[in-house]
């Protein structure tokens, strides 16, 4: 599904990684690890087509990553939600983009937001805002999910729900690359990639 060959990334005159090569098959989850500053977020942005590596090639289903936007779901550190809108209205917008029909009540309940569904998200806690952002996974038709620290500010029950969703996505042939300071269960992880911090 995804291939990266000879990737070189330089940020602030520091080489984060070079010659990085790996592949990810359909139905696999890759756990991306490394110390803070090792380049995990930079790699994720390269894979999402948001940052151009200095060298190397990234292809998804044989296409250049720049031509694969609708096949990728990227959720980074920032929630990328409209904080003037409620969780329900953010969800409704994402459903319209994906041209999917969804039961809003069921989806909001899955992430524990139903009692707060109509409150502008700017009044929600960091964890609740994160749950709003993660609703995009339930309505996305993208085959590749790039999730940079998806468990940030999420409680134990929320983490369990997300892990179940990861399993459902890979079982249906989708693939995931995830960074996390949480330890992922062995039965969830198919591949591991560790980036070393370079001074």
Report how many domains make up the chain.
Answer: 1
- Return the closest-CA partner of residue 189 out of 40, 24, 31, 22: 31
Other CB atoms within a 10 A radius of the CB of residue 160 amount to 11
User: By the 8 A CB rule, do 141 and 98 touch?
Assistant: yes
Q: What is the DSSP letter of 137?
A: H
pLDDT digits (tens, 9 = 90+) for 118-144: 999 999 998 899 889 888 888 888 999
Report whether pLDDT(199) > 90. no
Assign residue 29 a region (left: φ > 0; alpha: ψ between -120 and 50; beta: otherwise).
Answer: beta
The tens digit of pLDDT for each residue in 15-61 reads 999 999 999 999 999 999 998 889 999 999 999 988 899 999 999 99
Per the structure, the complete domain to which residue 108 belongs is given by 2-195
C-alpha–C-alpha distance, residues 117 and 142, integer Å: 25
Sign of CA dihedral 114, 115, 117, 122: negative
Average pLDDT over residues 92-114: 85
What digits encode the pLDDT tens for the residues 50-90?
889 999 999 999 889 888 778 999 998 888 899 999 999 99
- The CA distance from 177 to 28, in Å, is 9
Specify the range with the lowest mean pLDDT, choosing from 100-114, 118-132, 171-185.
100-114
Q: Is the pLDDT of residue 13 over 90?
A: no
pLDDT at 12: 86
Instruction: Name the burial class of residue 137, with classes exposed (0-12), middle (13-18) and buried (19+) by CB atoms within 10 angstroms of its CB.
Output: buried
> What does pLDDT average to over the chain?
90
State the average pLDDT over residues 103-112: 88
* C-alpha closest to that of 41 among 71, 63, 17: 17
pLDDT score of 110 more than 80: yes
Closest among 135, 136, 113 to 123, alpha carbons compared: 113
In the chain, pLDDT over 90 holds for what percent of residues? 55
Predicted confidence (pLDDT) per residue in 150-168, tens digit: 888 888 888 888 888 999 9
What is the β-pairing status of strands 144-148 and 72-75? parallel
Pairwise CA distance, residues 7 & 85, whole Å: 39
- For residue 52, the domain's CATH number is 3.40.50.300
């Amino acid at each position: 599904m995804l291939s990266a060959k000879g990737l070189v990334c330089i940020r602030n005159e520091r080489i984060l990684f070079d010659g990085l090569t790996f592949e990810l098959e359909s139905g696999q989850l890759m756990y991306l690890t490394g110390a803070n500053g090792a380049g995990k977020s930079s790699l994720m942005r390269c894979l999402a087509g948001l940052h151009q590596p200095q060298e190397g090639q990234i292809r998804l289903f044989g296409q250049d990553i720049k031509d694969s936007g609708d096949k990728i779901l990227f959720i980074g550190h920032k929630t990328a939600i409209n904080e003037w809108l409620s969780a329900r209205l953010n969800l409704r917008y994402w459903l319209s983009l994906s041209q999917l029909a969804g039961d809003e009540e069921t989806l909001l309940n899955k992430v524990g937001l139903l009692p707060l569904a109509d409150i502008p998200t700017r009044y929600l806690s960091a964890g609740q805002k994160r749950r709003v952002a993660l609703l995009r996974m339930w309505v996305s038709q993208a085959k590749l999910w790039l999730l940079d620290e998806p468990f940030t500010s999420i409680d134990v029950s929320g983490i369990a729900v997300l892990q179940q969703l990861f399993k459902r996505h890979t079982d249906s042939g989708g693939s995931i690359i995830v960074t996390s300071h949480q330890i992922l269960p062995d039965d969830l992880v198919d591949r591991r990639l560790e980036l070393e911090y370079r001074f």
